[in-house]
C-alpha cells in the first residue's frame, strides 16, 4: 500500500514539474517591443528601454539616467549590438582644451598645449604670444613686435619690443641707447641714424667720429658727406 502511495505521489510530482516548466517556458521573453531591448539582469531576461545618446540604463532605478561625464560636448550613439555588453556613454568630443583619452573614456584633466591647467583648461591668452610650449601658458614664440624672454627657460614669456632709441638690457628692460655723440637712432638695437654736429657716422663700427683735429680745424671738407665707411 505504501509503495502504491509513493508511486501516485511521484506521478503527481512529475506532472506538476512538467506543467510548471512548460508554463514558464511559454512566458519566457523572446522579443521586446520597439525601443526596448532584451537583457539578462540577475539571471533573468527582461526588456529595458533603449536609452538615448547621452543616457545610460540604471538597474536600481529601472530607467535611463544622464551619463554626466565631466567636460564632454557629446556622446556617440549607444551600441545595442551586443545585449550582454551594451556600450553606454562613449565620448565623442570633449570641450576645448580637454584631450579625449579613448582608453579610459574620459576627457582628461591634463589640458592640451595652449590651455591653462591651472585655470580650468581655459585657453591661454598671454600678451604677444603666438604659440605655447605646454599647458602652463609658457611661450614658444611671439607675435610681431614682441621678443621672447627666456632668461628663465622654465617660464619663457613675450615682452613688447622697445621703442626706437631704446634697447633691452640683460633683464629685458628697455634702456635708452647711449652711443657717444649720436643724435638719433634707426631702430631699437641702437643703430645710429644721425650724429651730432661736428661728427660723422662710421657705419662699420656704428660710432660717431669727430670731423676735426685737436685744434678745431677740419681735416677735410665735409660738404655733402653723410657717413663714412
pTM recorded for the entire structure? 0.57
Q: What is the predicted pLDDT for the residue at 27?
A: 57
Q: What is the predicted pLDDT for the residue at 17?
A: 63
Q: What is the predicted pLDDT for the residue at 219?
A: 47
**Would you say 132 and 138 are in contact if contact means Cβ atoms under 8 Å apart?**
yes
pLDDT tens-place values along the chain, 229 residues long = 566 666 666 667 676 666 555 555 445 677 888 888 888 877 788 888 899 999 999 988 889 999 999 999 999 999 998 888 899 999 999 998 899 999 999 998 788 999 998 888 899 999 999 999 999 999 999 999 999 999 998 999 999 999 999 999 999 999 999 999 999 999 999 999 999 999 999 999 999 999 874 344 444 444 445 555 4
CB atoms within 10 A of CB 136: 16
**For residues 157 and 149, what is the distance between their CA atoms, to the nearest angstrom?**
5
Q: What is the predicted pLDDT for the residue at 43?
A: 79
Q: What is the predicted pLDDT for the residue at 125?
A: 95
Exposed/middle/buried for 87, CB within 10 Å: 0-12, 13-18, 19+? Answer: middle
**Would you say 167 and 175 are in contact if contact means Cβ atoms under 8 Å apart?**
yes
Q: What is the predicted pLDDT for the residue at 216?
A: 46
Q: What is the predicted pLDDT for the residue at 161?
A: 97
CB atoms within 10 A of CB 24: 9
Question: To which H or E segment does residue 172 belong?
Answer: none
Amino acid at each position: 500500500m505504501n509503495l502504491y502511495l509513493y508511486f501516485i505521489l511521484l506521478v503527481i510530482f512529475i506532472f506538476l514539474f512538467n506543467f510548471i516548466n512548460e508554463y514558464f517556458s511559454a512566458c519566457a521573453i523572446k522579443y521586446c517591443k520597439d525601443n526596448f531591448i532584451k537583457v539578462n539582469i540577475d539571471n533573468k531576461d527582461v526588456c529595458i528601454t533603449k536609452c538615448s545618446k547621452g543616457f545610460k540604463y540604471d538597474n536600481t532605478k529601472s530607467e535611463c539616467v544622464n551619463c554626466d561625464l565631466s567636460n564632454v560636448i557629446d556622446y556617440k550613439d549607444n551600441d545595442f549590438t551586443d545585449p550582454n555588453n551594451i556600450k553606454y556613454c562613449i565620448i565623442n568630443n570633449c570641450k576645448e582644451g580637454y584631450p579625449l583619452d579613448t582608453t579610459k573614456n574620459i576627457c582628461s584633466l591634463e589640458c592640451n598645449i595652449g590651455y591653462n591647467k591651472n585655470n580650468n583648461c581655459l585657453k591661454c591668452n598671454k600678451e604677444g604670444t603666438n604659440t605655447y610650449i605646454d599647458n602652463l601658458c609658457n611661450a614658444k614664440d611671439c607675435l610681431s613686435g614682441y621678443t621672447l624672454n627666456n632668461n628663465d627657460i622654465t617660464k619663457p614669456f613675450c615682452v613688447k619690443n622697445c621703442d626706437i632709441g631704446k634697447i633691452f638690457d640683460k633683464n629685458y628692460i628697455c634702456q635708452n641707447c647711449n652711443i657717444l655723440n649720436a643724435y638719433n637712432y634707426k631702430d631699437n638695437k641702437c643703430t645710429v641714424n644721425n650724429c651730432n654736429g661736428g661728427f660723422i657716422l662710421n657705419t662699420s663700427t656704428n660710432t660717431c667720429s669727430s670731423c676735426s683735429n685737436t685744434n678745431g680745424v677740419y681735416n677735410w671738407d665735409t660738404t655733402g658727406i653723410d657717413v663714412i665707411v
